[in-house]
């Protein structure tokens, strides 16, 4: 079988609810790689919060972070980095728009520099991965560089309203998606950027055509990636919108959905 490219989302997909990778999934991915196929991570997380899983899987492929806004090869410094940022004035407009409504927090990320509007112990636990520089308070004033992404933390019932306001105010400049993990947030990146953009760059690097691409996902920010792949696979726990555009639906992240699909597809 010719080499395939397999892209996996992290939260709610590769990872179980306790943020670990099951032994069965680890084993199936190793077997697939031993057959000569390429496995890569495509996530909304920054690299510092996904590197632990990259190492656990012993990957040697490029990685897509920030939902496609940052793509690089951790094992090859000569690989051309792709980094797409949000215009600074647009970022400040986003902050102003969100502060008019009932949000819990705002976080702007300039690569590994993090600007957090309000201190939150739960969020701090997550964003501390990789020891980034973290500044809290007065985010609009402290933000001096174009951010890679902005995260908006709000209540579940307020997500749709905030997204509508963002579309009205700055919709021509950004794309925004809802992510369920590690906590419910609205993820904002530059318009036209998504996981499929990063996936295509990696596919071109390996010279793998779309018909030999498999992608797994569960959330709003996985839609383009699953649509782009010839085999777009929704997890059993995926939102309905993802399942509706997927080519197939596997088991949930808690029931080794990725392993279940790979074992059947590659006859492991």
Same domain, 110 and 150: yes
User: How many angstroms from the chain centroid is the CA of residue 216?
Assistant: 12
The last residue of one of the domains, among 190, 218, 246, is: 190
Same domain, 168 and 39: no
Same domain, 19 and 49: yes
| Least confident segment among 30-39, 104-113, 206-215, 216-225 | 104-113
State the average pLDDT for the chain.
92
- Count of beta carbons in the 10 Å neighbourhood of residue 131: 8
Q: What six digits make up the tokens of 254?
A: 């808690």
Task: State residue 180's pLDDT score.
Answer: 61
Beta-bridged to residue 82, according to DSSP, are: 71
Beta-bridged to residue 153, according to DSSP, are: 105, 185
The answer to whether the predicted template modeling score (pTM) of the entire model surpasses 0.75 is yes
Tell me the C-alpha distance between 84 and 94, whole Å: 17
Task: Provide the residue range defining the domain that includes 28.
Answer: 5-83+193-265
**Would you name the residues annotated as active-site residues?**
9
Same domain, 119 and 170: yes
The last residue of one of the domains, among 190, 215, 243, is: 190
Tell me the C-alpha distance between 26 and 146, whole Å: 37
Q: 101, 159 in Cβ contact below 8 A?
A: no
Torsion angles phi and psi, residue 118, rounded to 5: -130, 135
Report the SS3 class of residue 41.
strand
- What pLDDT band is residue 11 in, cutting at 50, 70 and 90? very high
Same domain, 93 and 183: yes
Same domain, 224 and 170: no
Q: 180, 203 in Cβ contact below 8 A?
A: no
Torsion angles phi and psi, residue 81, rounded to 5: -75, 140
Task: Indicate if the pLDDT at residue 183 is higher than 70.
Answer: no
Tally of domains within the chain: 2
């Amino acid at each position: 079988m010719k080499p395939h490219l397999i892209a996996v989302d992290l939260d709610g997909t590769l990872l179980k609810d306790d943020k670990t990778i099951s032994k069965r999934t680890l084993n199936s991915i190793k077997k697939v790689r031993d057959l000569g196929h390429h496995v890569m991570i495509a996530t909304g997380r920054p690299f510092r919060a996904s590197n632990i899983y990259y190492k656990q899987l012993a990957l040697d492929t490029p990685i897509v972070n920030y939902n496609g806004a940052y793509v690089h090869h951790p094992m090859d410094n000569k690989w051309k980095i792709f980094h797409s940022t949000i215009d600074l004035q647009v970022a400040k407009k986003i902050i102003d728009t969100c502060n008019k409504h009932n949000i819990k927090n705002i976080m702007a990320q300039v690569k590994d520099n993090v600007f957090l509007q309000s201190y939150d112990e739960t969020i701090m636990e997550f964003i501390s991965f990789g020891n980034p520089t973290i500044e809290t308070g007065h985010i609009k004033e402290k933000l001096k560089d174009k951010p890679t992404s902005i995260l908006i933390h709000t209540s579940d019932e307020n997500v749709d309203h905030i997204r509508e306001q963002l579309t009205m105010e700055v919709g021509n400049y950004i794309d925004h998606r809802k992510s369920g993990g590690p906590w419910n947030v609205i993820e904002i990146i530059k318009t036209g950027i998504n996981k499929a953009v990063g996936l295509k760059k990696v596919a071109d690097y390996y010279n793998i055509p779309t018909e030999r691409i498999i992608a797994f996902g569960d959330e709003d920010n996985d839609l383009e990636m699953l649509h782009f792949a010839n085999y777009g696979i929704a997890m059993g726990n995926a939102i309905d919108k993802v399942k509706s555009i997927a080519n197939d639906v596997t088991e949930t992240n808690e029931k080794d959905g990725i392993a279940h699909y790979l074992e059947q597809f590659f006859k492991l």
